[in-house]
Every structure is written in C-alpha cells, then in structure tokens.
Chain A
Amino acid sequence: MKDLIIAGSGPAGLSAAVYASNAMLNFSVIEKFPMSGGQMLNTYEINNYLGFEEIDGFTLGQTFRKHAENKGAQFINDEITAIEKIDGGYSVKCKNGEYETKTIIFATGANPKKLGVKGEADFAGRGVSYCATCDGNFFRDKITAVVGGGDVALEDTLYLANICSKVYLIHRRDEFRGAKYLQDKVRANDKIELVLKDEVDEIIGNNKVEKLKLKSGKELETDGVFIAVGLDPNSKLLDKTTEMENGFIKADESGITSAAGIFAAGDIRTKRLRQISTAVSDGANAVHSVEEYLFNL
C-alpha cells in the first residue's frame, strides 16, 4: 500500500509531489493526460508568479513538471473512475489499473464553466471557445466577444484586442471582479467595447457563429464568442465521500476534508483566491497534513 496518491498534475499536484518527495513518502501522481500542467497551459502570459516576471503558461507548467520529475516523482497516465474505502486507506480504481493508498490528495482542478445558453454546444469549435490563447489566431481582424467579468475574461479580452478588429466584453454586472490593472488596460483600449449589465441569451449562426442575441434584446454581430464565466470543479468522484460546497471540496488551507485520509489542494477546494501561487501553497500544506495524518495512524 502506498502512503499517498496525488490526483492531478497542475501546480497544486506538482507542488505536492515535490513536498512528498522531500518527505520521502511512497507516492505516485495519477494524471489524465501526459504533460499536463492544468489550466495554466491556457494562459498566454503570467506575470504574477514570483521569480518569473513574464512567462507563458506552458513553459511555466513544464518547469514545474521537470522539478517534480527530477525529485523522483512517479507519474501514472490513467483516469480515476472510483475511490473506495478499504481497510487502512483507499482503493483508487482507474481505467487501466487499481492502486491502494493510505491517503489521497485531490488536486484535479477545474474546467471552464459553460454558459448554458442556446447555440453554445452547437457552435463549439465553430466560433464558441473556452481558450482565447488557443483559438484567438483564427479570428485575426475579425470581431469577437468575451463573456465574463473576472481576471480570465479581462485577460482574454486584452489578448484578443491584439489580434481582432473589435472585441465586445459582455458582463452581467456594471463592475468587474478582475484585477484593477487589467480593468484599466481594458478601459483604455479603443478596440474594446464594454457591454455591461447584459447577458447572452442565444448564440446564433448558420454553420458558424454569426451573432449574439442579448437578454436586453440587443443583437451583436460577431465571428467568435469566448466564454470565461468561472470554473466547474472536477470533484464528481468525491461527491458521496466528502462534504462539498457549490461543487468544491470543503477544506481550509490545511487541505483536510470531511473524509479521513482525503485531502484537497488547489482550485478544487473552497477558497477565496484561485491562482498558481495559492495552488502551489496548497500542495505544500496538503502534504504537511498527510504527514501528520500518517504519523498518527
């Protein structure tokens, strides 16, 4: 039986792997995709992770991963299908194997949330996108719209304004949740038009996105719509095992959940600020809690 299984290989999981190596735990990291790095892979420019004044998400992700690999972390490329309580720990069932472990750190993160409007699913890959840095280049000199009001929505809007002829930023409130310096940049950019206190009602087009119908009745012609309305945590495996809050695993900074031996780190847990730095911090805290838990077994 292993001491620890880390589920997920974004910044929280990789940070946990580095700390678990230092703690000389017998552990593995299970990841759904090889080379993953979590959501930061989608980020074009990161300028707030200490020590890196300006770096893209993919490069930073690979840097984190190399660190964990060099520490001796073992990675298993598989998808977890169920977690079962067994004597002395848990059985982690995957598509291609099964692992027994005393503890689990869940660091499976979150995916972009869907808007849930008519046309959204029909036009996925036909003008509806959840990743501005991936798909922005297909909209060179075209009109696009971003939906949302947080950091990601503001960053996506600024990124697209470099490429597109015009960018609408649609937000249901009249103020933004995102960082002040991003708001200032958005307001100063004359390619960006703010559409506030309004919501998308329907995404309309023929073979691809052509326009958006808003709740106010207004219609906006656009070639693409980038959705950045928050996160949908990858926590379904645990919904019967641990206490949840709005789909996030209920845990404080310690990572301790309502289920003994199960810990949560990164975007998947209830927390105020979801950043790379706070995910990395969670990884360290969760391993510390795992060590205490193993010591008292």
Chain B
Amino acid sequence: MVKDIKTNEFQEKVINSNKPVLVDFWASWCGPCRMLSPAVDSVSEQVSEAEFYKVNVDEEPELAREFGIMSIPTLIVFKNGEIFDQSVGVISEADIKTLVEKAL
C-alpha cells in the first residue's frame, strides 16, 4: 500500500529523494481516484527503484496548491527534486508503470 505523505515531510521524502518519486494526488470523495489507487499500489510493488506516495488534497491543500492541482487524480513523477512528468485522470496500470519507468 502506498503511504500518504504530509506537507512537512514532502521536502525530505520527495524533493530530496535520490530515487524518482511518483506522487498520487487524490481525495476520498473522488471516485476515479479510488479506482486509480489500487493500480498505483500494484505498480509500487513491481518497481522497487522508485518511491511512491499519496497526497490527500483535502488534508494537504498547500501541496495541491503548490503544484497547481486542479483535477484529480493527478500523478506527478519527481526526479532530482523537480517535476519530471505528470498525468491527469485515470490511466491503466501499464501506463502508470511506463510513466514512472521513464524517470529511472
């Protein structure tokens, strides 16, 4: 299971990470987000060279604002502290894997 991350941990765990990090911006009231999350969980078990976190946009609105999130689910891949790639909406497990593997 991909863990939720808080605003005060973001710098250390995402921006300063040596590995690429995929962050799933979601909310409990968003049906498509709850559809996407199990696929992200599954990819996180297959790709050990990257880190995976979730941001609950209700609990961490600052992070959602900082990254200009206006549509969820949004997946953002960070590499060396910067946004490497992102994807909006529900995508297949294979496409999630490709998204993160491009950053390896």
Contacts and interface: CB of A to CB of B under 8 A. Distances in A.
Interface in B4-30: 27, 29-30
Contacts of B27: 134, 137
A77 B33 contact: no
Contacts of A224: 70
B50 interface: no
A208 B88 contact: no
B76 to A, nearest CB: 11
Contacts of B64: 138
Contacts of A42: 31-32
Interface residues of A, number: 35
Contacts of A134: 27, 30-33, 71-73
A214 B57 CA distance: 33
Given A124-B71, A138-B71, A208-B70, A133 B29 contact: yes
B28 to A, nearest CB: 9
B68 A36 contact: no
A35 B30 CA distance: 13
Contacts, number: 85
Given A135-B70, A138-B70, A224-B70, A37 B90 contact: no
A31 to B, nearest CB: 10
B35 A41 contact: yes
Contact of A125 (B35, B58, B70, B92): B70
B71 A58 contact: no
Interface in A100-127: 124-127
B87 to A, nearest CB: 9
B38 A35 contact: yes
Contacts of B93: 33, 77
B74 interface: yes
A32 B38 CA distance: 12
B38 A34 contact: yes
Contacts of A43: 31
A246 interface: no
Contacts of A139: 70
Interface of A: 32-37, 40-44, 56-58, 61, 77, 79, 95, 124-131, 133-135, 137-139, 207-208, 224
15 contacts: A37-B31, A37-B35, A41-B34, A42-B31, A58-B34, A124-B71, A124-B89, A125-B71, A125-B88, A126-B68, A127-B70, A134-B73, A137-B27, A138-B70, A139-B70
